[in-house]
Structure 1
Amino acid sequence: MRKTWLITGISSGFGKALTEQLLAKGDTVIGTVRTEKDDIRALTKQYPDTLDVYHLDVTNVDEIRQVVNSTVKNHGKIDVLINNAGYGLFGAAEELSDKDINLILATDLTGSIQMIRAVIPHMRKQGGGRIIQISSYGGQVAYPGNSLYHAAKFGIEGFCESVAQEVAPFNIGVSIIEPGGARTEFRYGSAHIAKLMPEYDNTPAHSFLKMLDPANGLAPGDPDKMASQIIETADQKPAPLHVVLGSQALQATIDRLNDRLNEYKNQTDLAASTDFKD
């Protein structure tokens, strides 16, 4: 059955790959961009009846609500929301400016939260839907030099896990997508880097500089293959809560979760020592 998808951030990366694949199979895409690029204009001309593009700054809550309401008014429904808009921010916590911090949280965390909140009433009234949140394996595994990006991703994952339980009675499924490194503009074009301090040179906080340099090897993830897997989750019942994409990302996640589990298991006596002895 043909679906109507609302996707944020379709001008590049996963958003663009998702849009191209969905349009090719005949679905309708309502996509948002901050700046409309030539290839998106070309897609609009190629699919004039099934691609609708809105300019949206996801840090603007009023704009989010306007896009969601216009989508429902013009297309009748939103079968699937894919929260994809976001970017990476690199640098030690001390190196980040207040503006750096406020902007990434407003974009990667609060923007996604507000988009989900805007869509839920419509999905509830229409009898169901699917919310797909693009996170990262960085929502489970933290590395130095990436603290605020991890803060946003850990935060949105906690939000989505809670919301998934709230909306399940209304036939609304929630999936959190946790990709590993992929060959997109996220790493090789749109990444934001703080004003670096020499004090952190040759420390773990600046190890990301090697990762961002394509000369040191490209990321293993194929964005087209990842997009295809993301699309498939929309038809899975029940909705998978966590979907990790990329073998390296999966192994790193398993290793970190095992470490965390062992850390907690070793605190059994300590935890019990703080209970009342009734």
Structure 2
Amino acid sequence: MRTWFITGISTGFGRVMAEKLLAAGDRVAGTLRDLSAADDLKAQFGDRLWLASLDLTHTDAIRPTVDAAWAAMDRIDVVVSNAGYGLLGAAEEVTDAQVRHQIDTNLLGSIQLVRAALPHMRAQGGGRILQISSLGGQVAIPGSSLYHATKWGIEGFMETVAQEVAVFGIGCTIVEPGSASTGFRNRSAIVGPRIPAYDISPSRRINHIVDDKSILSPGDQGKMVDAMIASVDQDPAPLRLALGSDSYSHITKALTARLAQLDAQRELACSTDCADQGNSPRWFQSDEG
């Protein structure tokens, strides 16, 4: 039996994961903004479900909530940073308040959640962190610039943290789902005000995807959650977990193009080094050399 801490269990991946884990006999400490959204789970699973109200934009409440969860559950094996949403629209279209809220929720909130959990995981000798990102953490789609800013940002943060905390027995996995029937498009996505000039921009395509409810998502939400749960048994923890055929194909295309562009600049990049450095130590040296 494991104990899990999951943010955003009212809907989507968080809700499905909580249901599956509780049904399997595990314990869950879950957060959500409206506690009543989990009344049915609480009635069914009782003390195996600990609940707290948490809005990730209230960053000063994150650490006390994490501390309270650890105190109540004694040990938490897996932290799932799941809560988040998408802000859609061209960079010029979205409002300043929308920009701030997107970054506060998806990026700063996720960062502070992980920072709050790490002292507990070190003290107990290990654990696992699952950071829910998306294919949007590796791919750039016009009309999603602020969403990508948060997902690319949290992926850089988590990839670094993974290297910092592996010595403590803490594993980190960045989950990159493609489109699934989570309610992201039909409920939680926020669209900025539309500027008519952008009707000719490729950024408008993302608006059409949200507007047209008949467009189906290829990913199976339940299968994706099963894969996330199963990844916790892998040792070492997979750094990334791409889920969905669209995630795999879009990320492959993006990384292949990026690598080709980088390779074409090799001669230029090397030509800008200082001369006569000899065997002097480099400012950064990875474990691989």
Instruction: Give the alignment's TM-score, normalised by structure 1.
Output: 0.97
2:109 maps to 111
TM-superposed CA distance for 1:193, in Å, is: 0.4
Q: In 2, are the aligned partners of 1:11 and 1:37 still within 8 Å (CA)?
A: no
Q: Runs of 5+ in structure 1 lacking a partner?
A: none
Q: Runs of 5+ in structure 2 lacking a partner?
A: 277-289
Give the Cα–Cα distance (whole angstroms) in 2 for the partners of residues 213 and 193 of structure 1: 10
Q: In 1, are the aligned partners of 2:7 and 2:31 still within 8 Å (CA)?
A: yes
Deviation readout 1:110-159 (Å, 9 max, x if unpaired): 10000000000000000000000000010000010000000000000000
2:218 to 217, 220, 230: 220
Bigger shift: 245-254 or 29-38?
A: 29-38
Deviation readout 1:24-47 (Å, 9 max, x if unpaired): 000000110012344x21111000
Give the Cα–Cα distance (whole angstroms) in 1 for the partners of residues 58 and 208 of structure 2: 34
Deviation readout 1:222-246 (Å, 9 max, x if unpaired): 1111111111111110000000000
2:20 maps to 21
AA of the residue aligned to 2:89: G
Q: In 1, are the aligned partners of 2:35 and 2:52 still within 8 Å (CA)?
A: no
2:279 maps to none
Q: In 1, are the aligned partners of 2:191 and 2:207 still within 8 Å (CA)?
A: no
Q: In 1, are the aligned partners of 2:21 and 2:27 still within 8 Å (CA)?
A: yes
Give the Cα–Cα distance (whole angstroms) in 1 for the partners of residues 71 and 215 of structure 2: 46
1:265 maps to 263
Instruction: Give the alignment's TM-score, normalised by structure 2.
Output: 0.93
TM-superposed CA distance for 1:202, in Å, is: 3.1
1:44 to 42, 45, 48: 42
TM-superposed CA distance for 1:160, in Å, is: 0.3
Structure 1 pair 37–213 and aligned structure 2 pair: CA distance change class (3 A):
farther
Give the Cα–Cα distance (whole angstroms) in 2 for the partners of residues 202 and 227 of structure 1: 37
Q: How does 1:2-151 map to 2 (within 5 A)?
A: 2-38=1-37, 40-151=38-149
TM-superposed CA distance for 1:214, in Å, is: 4.3
Q: In 1, are the aligned partners of 2:81 and 2:113 still within 8 Å (CA)?
A: yes
TM-superposed CA distance for 1:272, in Å, is: 1.7
1:166 maps to 164
Bigger shift: 6-15 or 226-235?
A: 226-235
1:175 to 168, 173, 176: 173
SS of residue matched to 1:275: coil
SS of residue matched to 2:108: helix
AA of the residue aligned to 1:225: K
Deviation readout 1:134-187 (Å, 9 max, x if unpaired): 000100000100000000000000000000000000000000000000111111
Q: How does 1:194-209 map to 2 (within 5 A)?
A: 194-209=192-207
Structure 1 segments of 4+ aligned residues over 6 angstroms from their partners: none
TM-superposed CA distance for 1:213, in Å, is: 3.4
AA of the residue aligned to 1:120: L
Give the Cα–Cα distance (whole angstroms) in 2 for the partners of residues 213 and 228 of structure 1: 30
AA of the residue aligned to 2:190: H
1:153 maps to 151
Give the Cα–Cα distance (whole angstroms) in 1 for the partners of residues 24 and 148 of structure 2: 34
Give the Cα–Cα distance (whole angstroms) in 1 for the partners of residues 191 and 52 of structure 2: 28
Q: In 2, are the aligned partners of 1:80 and 1:132 still within 8 Å (CA)?
A: yes
Give the Cα–Cα distance (whole angstroms) in 1 for the partners of residues 177 and 40 of structure 2: 28
Give the Cα–Cα distance (whole angstroms) in 1 for the partners of residues 53 and 212 of structure 2: 31
Give the Cα–Cα distance (whole angstroms) in 1 for the partners of residues 33 and 17 of structure 2: 17
